[in-house]
């Protein structure tokens, strides 16, 4: 039975249907030592130190995405104590026993992509499918065959040469080979990625040769506050503190707009890893950190809710505190409401003193 009633447009009604702003503070710790996984609905999910891994492998069996831990280390103790990667330019995998790193300082660095989690540092040489950057897909076996040698500098300053020899796609396993630059301490390992599902990446530490999980399940978080390398307008990469979106998160960016702006639907929502990124703040040697004015982000959660986000404070490396305002501006979309057999209508629009709220099913309370 359809029910109709009239209500006054009072403050209590507005609060009931439009949740107020909430101010949130996330701390990455002094020196930005933590990755902070965050849910728009539930808040902080998990804090994870960044020190214990070198590489991470995307868990999807059909993916060849491999990232490096470019944000490791404590920024208060140094700016280069993170993992660095170069493609060896002087030969293919047949050069394994004769690595010459003369001129390495002038070789182009490899960075994790800011567009997609799968576009890792090891993938940046890709010319498009079936080229994964570190290897090519074999159309007969469906395996990815490694064709490149990489030079890896670990956070402790140790240099390694590494060859991602193969991905056995059907088994979701990687075969890797690594050694010191002079070919001492050589080792090989088989990494069973198939044992780790439900999360984006599984992580690997070369020193202990251990493969392990360290991030929450993909469905449990929306954003991660972290350190990463971002491309700058001057044509170089810099290590920054910022916010990255999960693989299932869409969003958009508006500038310059007032804080009350809510027309998120006037731009498409896109699944860009560094959509929020780092440049909502800027630094001056005279005034310290400041927040970019009139910059808003809208982020869609996996269930279809739309949140507005804007930043209000950034403490910098002393504490790693980031303060922002989060507001739910649109709840589950119409299609999902129909799937739940619920239809709500508000009339008239716009309203002055009174509006009618109608719904099509019995509602408790």
What pTM does this model have?
A: 0.84
**Does residue 137 come out as left (phi exceeding 0), alpha (psi in the -120 to 50 range) or beta?**
beta
In a domain, 340, yes or no: no
DSSP H helices in 7-78: 11-17
Q: Are 70 and 111 within 8 A, CB to CB?
A: yes
Q: Are 240 and 283 within 8 A, CB to CB?
A: no
Asked if residue 248 and residue 300 are part of one domain, the reply reads: yes
In a domain, 344, yes or no: no
**What's the mean pLDDT in 289-296?**
97
Q: Which residue has the higher pLDDT, 357 or 64?
A: 64
In a domain, 9, yes or no: no
Asked if residue 97 and residue 66 are part of one domain, the reply reads: yes
Q: Is the pLDDT of residue 119 over 90?
A: yes
| Other Cβ atoms closer than 10 A to 215 | 20
**DSSP one-letter code for 41:** T
The burial class, CB within 10 Å (0-12 / 13-18 / 19+), for 246 is buried
Asked if residue 308 and residue 284 are part of one domain, the reply reads: yes
CA–CA separation, 299 vs 232, rounded Å? 24
What is the percentage of the chain residues whose pLDDT exceeds 70? 83
Q: Which residue has the higher pLDDT, 119 or 353?
A: 119
Q: Each residue of 6-43: pLDDT tens digit?
A: 333 333 333 344 455 899 999 999 999 999 999 999 99
**DSSP one-letter code for 332:** S
Instruction: Look at residue 355 in the predicted model and tell me its pLDDT.
Output: 54
Asked if residue 61 and residue 38 are part of one domain, the reply reads: no
The model's confidence at residue 349, banded by pLDDT at 50, 70 and 90, is: very low
Instruction: Look at residue 335 in the predicted model and tell me its pLDDT.
Output: 52
Q: Each residue of 181-224: pLDDT tens digit?
A: 999 999 999 999 999 999 999 999 999 999 999 999 999 999 99
**117-149 b/e (C-beta count within 10 Å ≥ 16 → b):** bbbbbbbbbbeeeebbbbbbbeeeeebbbbbbb
Asked if residue 285 and residue 230 are part of one domain, the reply reads: yes
Q: Are 45 and 221 within 8 A, CB to CB?
A: yes
3-state secondary structure of 178: strand
**What's the mean pLDDT in 333-346?**
48
Q: Each residue of 192-202: pLDDT tens digit?
A: 999 999 999 99
| Domain end position, chosen among 213, 239, 255 | 213
| Domain end position, chosen among 213, 235, 251 | 213
Q: Each residue of 41-80: pLDDT tens digit?
A: 999 999 999 888 999 999 999 999 999 998 875 544 445 6
Instruction: Look at residue 270 in the predicted model and tell me its pLDDT.
Output: 97
Instruction: Look at residue 73 in the predicted model and tell me its pLDDT.
Output: 59
The model's confidence at residue 172, banded by pLDDT at 50, 70 and 90, is: very high
Asked if residue 209 and residue 157 are part of one domain, the reply reads: yes
Q: Which residue has the higher pLDDT, 334 or 4?
A: 334
| Domain end position, chosen among 213, 237, 269 | 213
Q: Each residue of 78-97: pLDDT tens digit?
A: 456 789 999 999 999 999 99
Q: Is the pLDDT of residue 357 over 90?
A: no
In a domain, 253, yes or no: yes
Asked if residue 76 and residue 127 are part of one domain, the reply reads: yes
Report how many domains make up the chain: 2
Asked if residue 155 and residue 66 are part of one domain, the reply reads: yes
Domain that holds residue 121: 53-213
Instruction: Look at residue 344 in the predicted model and tell me its pLDDT.
Output: 52
CA–CA separation, 44 vs 30, rounded Å? 18
Q: Are 112 and 227 within 8 A, CB to CB?
A: no
Instruction: Name the average pLDDT for the chain.
Output: 88
Instruction: Look at residue 106 in the predicted model and tell me its pLDDT.
Output: 95
Asked if residue 190 and residue 78 are part of one domain, the reply reads: yes
Q: Which residue has the higher pLDDT, 334 or 293?
A: 293
Instruction: Look at residue 82 in the predicted model and tell me its pLDDT.
Output: 84
Asked if residue 303 and residue 279 are part of one domain, the reply reads: yes
**What's the mean pLDDT in 121-145?**
97
Q: Each residue of 260-276: pLDDT tens digit?
A: 999 999 999 999 999 99
Q: Is the pLDDT of residue 1 over 80?
A: no
Asked if residue 228 and residue 185 are part of one domain, the reply reads: no
**DSSP one-letter code for 20:** P
Asked if residue 230 and residue 137 are part of one domain, the reply reads: no
In a domain, 356, yes or no: no
In a domain, 353, yes or no: no
Instruction: Look at residue 339 in the predicted model and tell me its pLDDT.
Output: 52
In a domain, 342, yes or no: no
In a domain, 228, yes or no: yes
């Amino acid at each position: 039975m359809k029910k109709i009633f009239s209500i006054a447009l009072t403050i209590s009604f507005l609060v009931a249907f439009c949740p107020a702003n909430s101010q949130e503070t996330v701390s990455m710790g002094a020196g930005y030592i933590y990755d902070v996984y965050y849910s728009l609905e539930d808040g902080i999910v998990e804090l994870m130190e960044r020190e214990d891994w070198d590489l991470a492998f995307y868990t999807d069996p059909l993916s060849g995405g491999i990232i490096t831990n470019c944000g490791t280390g404590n920024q208060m103790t140094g700016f280069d104590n993170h993992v660095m990667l170069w493609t060896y330019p002087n030969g293919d995998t047949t050069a394994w026993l004769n690595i010459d790193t003369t001129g390495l300082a002038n070789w182009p660095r490899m960075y994790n992509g800011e567009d997609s989690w799968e576009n890792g540092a090891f993938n940046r040489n890709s010319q498009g499918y079936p080229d994964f950057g570190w290897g090519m897909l074999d159309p007969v076996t469906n395996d990815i065959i490694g064709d490149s040698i990489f030079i890896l500098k670990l956070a402790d300053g140790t240099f390694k040469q590494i060859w991602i020899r193969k991905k056995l796609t059907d088994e979701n396993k990687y075969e890797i080979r690594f050694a010191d630059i002079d070919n001492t301490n050589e080792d090989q390992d088989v990494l069973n990625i198939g044992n780790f599902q439900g999360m984006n990446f599984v992580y690997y530490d070369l020193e202990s040769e251990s493969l392990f999980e360290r991030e929450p399940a993909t469905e449990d978080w929306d954003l991660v506050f972290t350190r990463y390398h971002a491309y700058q307008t001057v044509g170089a990469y810099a290590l920054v503190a910022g916010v990255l979106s999960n693989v299932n998160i869409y969003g958009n960016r508006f500038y310059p707009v007032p804080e009350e702006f809510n027309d998120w639907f006037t731009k498409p929502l896109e699944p860009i890893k560094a959509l929020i990124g780092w440049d909502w703040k800027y630094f001056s040697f005279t005034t310290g950190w400041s927040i970019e004015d009139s910059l808003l982000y809208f982020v869609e959660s996996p269930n279809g809710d739309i949140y507005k986000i804007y930043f209000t404070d950034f403490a910098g490396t002393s504490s790693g505190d980031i303060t922002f305002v989060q507001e739910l501006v649109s709840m589950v979309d119409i299609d999902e409401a129909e799937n739940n057999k619920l239809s709500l209508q508000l009339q008239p629009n716009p309203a002055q003193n009174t509006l009618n709220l109608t719904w099509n099913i019995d509602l408790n309370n």
